[in-house]
Structure 1
Amino acid sequence: MKNRTIINPWTWQDQLGYAQAVEIRHGTHTLYCAGQAAMTAEGMPIDADMGGQIKLCFDNLEEVLTEAGYAMRNIVRLNFYTTSIEQFFASYGEVIERMQATGCLASSTLTEVKALAFPQLAVEIEATAVR
């Protein structure tokens, strides 16, 4: 994206695969995605480990983006909500792999929450994309 500037005053975030800030100059379209969790197409939560849930969250996010005419590389903001930061970081390789494979470099926040919409859910990913 020509109108995107990554702002990283430091380098430590590079190994975690995110940016401190992303500036978009004169963006024409913005897509605000609802949190995507490990839900089937029928709206049922799956009972899987953190890595499996992260994978399905990204699959669902990519489907929403594609339906709207966007791609993972259009994401400028990712928020991660998890019921266990420890388990999330144990499976963080799934996050890095997916982001690198799709050219996604976004600003990001990770928050531990008491619970998500269903007891089986351990992670939810919320995104903002521009083009």
Structure 2
Amino acid sequence: MQKRAVNPTPWMQHFNMNHAIEVKGQERTVYFSGQTASAPDGSALHPGDLVAQFKAAWDCLKAALAGADMQPTNVVRMNIYTTDVALFMERAEEMIPVFAADGVQPVCTLLGVSALYDPALMIEIEATAVA
């Protein structure tokens, strides 16, 4: 499988993301539902701490990737849903290294939402991975 980043302008690279990714020769595509900072019983972890919730949601996504026999580097797209876009942008520099350390440089959409399934949750990460 080959991945090629497409970046007509450099601004997204500051966030360790790409405008587009061309993928050739993949055999599998896996679509992951939104991952949150949730305990096994579904209750929210780290209420009020966006960065800790991001890290916990990323760990949940990595576990789901492993369950699909994939690695974080297989992620080509992320949709990030947050209840506080301004806070996300203010704290982005703390969250980018979380996925960058795993070699992930996806295309990404950040979406502001009024609420997630638990009012204590502030972030949800949805992903697409190819192998």
Give the TM-score, by structure 1 length. 0.94
Counterpart of 2:11 in structure 1 is: 12
Shift of 1:48: 4.0
- Partner residue, 2:94: 94
- Contact 2:34 / 2:125 at 8 angstroms: preserved in 1? yes
CA distance in 1, matches of 2:37, 2:89: 17
The residue aligned with 1:106 is 106
Distance (whole Å) between structure 1 residues aligned to residue 95 and residue 50 of structure 2: 11
Change (3 A) 1:108 1:120: same
- 1:14 Cα deviation (Å)? 1.1
Between the aligned partners of 1:24 and 1:57, the Cα distance in structure 2 is 25
Alpha-carbon RMSD across the aligned residues, in angstroms, is 1.1
Structure 2: which amino acid aligns with 1:4?
K
SS in 2 for 1:32: strand
Deviation at 1:51, TM superposition (A): 0.7
Structure 1: stretches of 5+ with no match in the other structure: none
| Residues paired across the two proteins, number | 130
| 8 Å Cα contact 1:75/1:127 also seen in 2 | yes
Equivalent positions of 1:1-131 (< 5 A) are: 2-46=1-45, 47-131=47-131
**Runs of at least 4 residues of structure 1 off by over 6 A?**
none
Give the distance between the partners of 1:84 and 1:43, measured in 2 at CA. Answer: 21
Q: Percent identity?
A: 34
How far did 1:91 drift?
Answer: 2.2
